[in-house]
Structure 1
């Protein structure tokens, strides 16, 4: 109990120091030096023009309100709290009400974009329900608030985040995006961790996987539903999604099949599992096109929780 007072006092003193204009000015100067010495030379080598750098970096300051920051250069003790929703509060993130609330919107969008989804499936081989499910969880079909200035977030993380070196590369990728003109700085919004737009792509992923599927000449994952869906499908396809296969099937696992056989290192033909007594919970047989393809046992909650036969597509999603 005696430790509470000094800890609270030190926190208050730190808050006062951070809000002090002189402190902020000193911090901003250090940040500007970082941009000039580290980011600008690397960005120029990556093909970002001086005009782009002058325009986008002018007046840029760090956002010290972001969670999880340490010290300049990524030095300092990392925070003990994981701020991502799925880790901070997994019971809330995965509760049924969260999923159920997203179902009507998904069905509506699936109907609205039926013809477009036909084309996306034909090109990338990813089922529409998978595309819609990822879109739902990443941003609620674009309805989630994504309020941050992506460039400022990335610059701050590159300067004083836990993974400063990683975010330096992402910052340069963001500058490349702005130079290409697919999005304006004003519209380039991200989460506090730098994930952008409706599919929550980091800038490097945007450069590799974002798609202009609506044909307007811009890869717009911020306001274009069509580009968002196609970009998600392209991402999965490029990461090895096996066309025509599902991600997995819920099963009844017989007691005669050991739980030690779980995992991708123990893959075998699904027909072999069937011969050992594995059956689908639905009561339906495994599809003919799947039966002679490999799968593995998946027990996400242990032996007494739900059991699945997972295909390689599960690990693409993972």
Structure 2
């Protein structure tokens, strides 16, 4: 009886231990409870940070009057919930980039862009004289970012920034952007009610974050206000100022589509492996159009770029290409802007070489390859599952070292070899 009782007692105790966490687990807070915490955060955390950033109390209270949490925004981590686990999703970068360069869309943007370039020709000439950035480049960015100012901006930026500063996966970043937005309101540039933006807090026709607005927005139409919501001159000149202050080199192109001959490795790309254009020509790189490189480029540095390795178009790019990436840190974005600008200015067309179909790779697959390469002494850049130029060229170098023809791009068969 004693043994039997002890066994039953142990079973009961074990069951109680197993179920205890379920019994004591707290339910996720309601939206009303989260909103109450949000109001406390504004007073306890945001105001001291804003005050330290130079915002006065009257402007702070006025700007945040009526501020609301937007629970429909992405990348939120409400109090009492855990951050979402990184999902091993197949992303556009890991399949053929062809979809990014949708020809119908590019043709439509180019046609509209040429019309608007003609319509705003006088303004564009003044901007180019002031900043040295071609009008076609400004029109291309304007079209890509906000559909030439026609895209709807349905969100109150203060609501978006406050929501993300309180409960996003990148709270410090958005808190600083929120304080920058408060400076905009305090200075009289725009009221909180009229500061409309995207779901990410990007503002106006150039889609500037508030910190970028403070640094780069200009009053080009002379009305005393830096209005990137309603003024085309202000919007286009602000984009030009952004590019110039990010390093734009006047008189240089952004880049050229090329062909890399057999025997020349694709593992030479990257801004840290620049050579004069004349040296690349001596190495056998040629423009895919058959035209010579401009004479003015011969002695200037340029960089190889193979965003899909040997499975897509190949490029020789100038430092201005990397200025595009300051606007949006993506090789494909920068190529899109360059190609669209060429279409607007010269009637250019799609890249000559096709984007070949690629086997879909998960981010976790690329991450595994990066770790394997790092273990063998390769510099892949940031180990994050994204195939940047250092990862691409490390793959090419590993392939050459192991007797394979370099392709400079991750694939399933390479992943198996790199284990």
Question: How does the TM-score come out when normalised to structure 1?
Answer: 0.87
CA distance in 2, matches of 1:86, 1:34: 37
Q: Deviation of residue 67 (structure 1)?
A: 1.5
Q: Deviation of residue 59 (structure 1)?
A: 2.6
CA distance in 1, matches of 2:309, 2:92: 19
For residue 82 of structure 2, the aligned residue among 71, 76, 80 is 76
CA distance in 1, matches of 2:235, 2:201: 17
Residue 309 of structure 2 aligns to a residue whose secondary structure is coil
- After the TM superposition, which segments of 4 or more aligned residues of structure 1 sit over 3 Å from their partners? 78-82, 85-94
CA displacement 1:21-79 (0-9 Å, x = unmatched): xx333222110111111111221222222221121212322111112211249x73236
Where does residue 260 of structure 2 map in the other structure? 253
CA distance in 2, matches of 1:232, 1:81: 35
Where does residue 332 of structure 2 map in the other structure? none
RMSD of equivalent CA atoms: 2.4
For residue 25 of structure 1, the aligned residue among 32, 41, 45 is 32
Asked if 2 retains the 8 angstrom alpha-carbon contact of 1:270 and 1:294, the reply is yes
Taking a change above 3 Å as real, the CA distance of residues 309 and 142 of structure 1, as seen in their structure-2 partners, is same
User: In the alignment, is residue 124 of structure 1 matched against residue 131 of structure 2?
Assistant: yes
When the two structures are aligned, how many residues end up with a matched partner? Answer: 297
CA distance in 1, matches of 2:125, 2:199: 34
Where does residue 51 of structure 1 map in the other structure? 58
User: In the alignment, is residue 65 of structure 1 matched against residue 111 of structure 2?
Assistant: no
Higher mean C-alpha deviation, range 253-262 or range 305-314: 253-262
Q: Deviation of residue 197 (structure 1)?
A: 0.9
CA distance in 2, matches of 1:258, 1:219: 48
Taking a change above 3 Å as real, the CA distance of residues 71 and 300 of structure 1, as seen in their structure-2 partners, is same
CA distance in 1, matches of 2:274, 2:87: 36
CA distance in 2, matches of 1:309, 1:50: 52
Higher mean C-alpha deviation, range 48-57 or range 306-315: 48-57
Asked if 2 retains the 8 angstrom alpha-carbon contact of 1:70 and 1:79, the reply is no
Unaligned runs of 5+ in 2: 1-27, 326-419
Taking a change above 3 Å as real, the CA distance of residues 188 and 87 of structure 1, as seen in their structure-2 partners, is farther
Asked if 2 retains the 8 angstrom alpha-carbon contact of 1:247 and 1:311, the reply is yes
Asked if 2 retains the 8 angstrom alpha-carbon contact of 1:69 and 1:161, the reply is yes
Q: Equivalent residues in 2 for 1:1-318 (5 A)?
A: 23-72=30-79, 76-78=82-84, 80=86, 92-318=99-325
Taking a change above 3 Å as real, the CA distance of residues 86 and 195 of structure 1, as seen in their structure-2 partners, is farther
Asked if 2 retains the 8 angstrom alpha-carbon contact of 1:78 and 1:162, the reply is no
Asked if 2 retains the 8 angstrom alpha-carbon contact of 1:72 and 1:161, the reply is no
CA distance in 2, matches of 1:109, 1:88: 35
CA distance in 1, matches of 2:206, 2:272: 30
Q: Deviation of residue 86 (structure 1)?
A: 7.3
Higher mean C-alpha deviation, range 257-266 or range 226-235: 257-266
CA distance in 2, matches of 1:194, 1:29: 23
